[in-house]
Amino acid sequence: MGTIRPMKIIHAVHEMQDYSEALRKAGRRIAFVPTMGYFHEGHLDLMREGRKRSDCLVVSIYVNPTQFGASEDLEKYPRNFDRDSQLAEEVGVDVIFFPSNAEMYPVNYQTYVTVEEVTKNLCGLSRPGHFRGVATVCAKLFNMVKPHAAIFGKKDFQQLVTIKRMVADLNMDLEIVGMPTTREKDGLAMSSRNVYLSPEERESALCLSRSLLMARERYDQGERDAGRILQSIKAYIESVPSTRIDYLKICSTTTMQDVQSLDQESVLALAVFVGSTRLIDNHVFGEELNIR
């Protein structure tokens, strides 16, 4: 399936803003998928959803330095713009917004967005400053692209909660849409970082999705004690070769704080190093889990 009109690539912020403003004045609806590139089927699913919801689909490709810590993988983060462009065009993207660091963070840049409480746990604990970078770049991109709706994956669940909180708190006039995690056939959540895994590590990485299945089974059997569910999963993951748990928690989907009992809507969130690669996954109890 190809796009009806040629896909446009925009590099300059002012050009992106002018393009979107003209669409809005013409009464056209804009959907937006922000990405760091190196597309996989999960990204493409978000784009397909955006295509359904809009007259114009914009995808950004920008590896945002402000959300990476000093010891993280900014420099080696996988990039392939030519491949990404081809995949985007095949699913009907109208515009790729591909700004430089100088466009996004010009000389003397000094303004950041901090979302407070929902970022304090999970990735907020293990990656200090990460969500400040995420919130800042998303706020900037929303102002540049001017979308009516922005599409995010639920794999980065805390990120989705953070962006929804920011949009509500700052009265941003757009809809944030969360889409289910796209998985490989064996259950592994799709991620651009999966390319780092050796064949042996790739097998060990299945412990994340299998942990979600174990937790759901306990929940379906009536278990509501978070500690007991976590204890069984922890023992399992620690038995898998090449793994190291970063965090393993059950939290309120509203506050992102730990819960003791699953008597409110709760999410099991985990981050596990498999070899040197950090992977995340999650499951909201009571929702469908698309793992075989």
Residues that are catalytic? 43
226 by DSSP, 3-state: which?
helix
Q: In the chain, helix, strand, coil percent, each to 5?
A: 40, 20, 40
User: Which letter, b or e, does each residue of 211-236 get, where b requires 16 or more Cβ atoms within 10 Å of its Cβ?
Assistant: bbebbbebbeeeeeebeebbeebeee
**Cα–Cα distance measured from residue 82 to residue 72, given in angstroms and rounded to the nearest whole number:** 25
Helix/strand/coil for 12 = coil
User: Is the CB of residue 32 less than 8 Å from the CB of residue 150?
Assistant: yes
| Among candidate residues 291, 282, 88, the one with its CA nearest the CA of residue 187 | 291
291 three-state secondary structure: coil
For residue 280, the cross-strand partners are 271
List CB contacts of 221: < 8 A, sequence separation 6 or more.
none
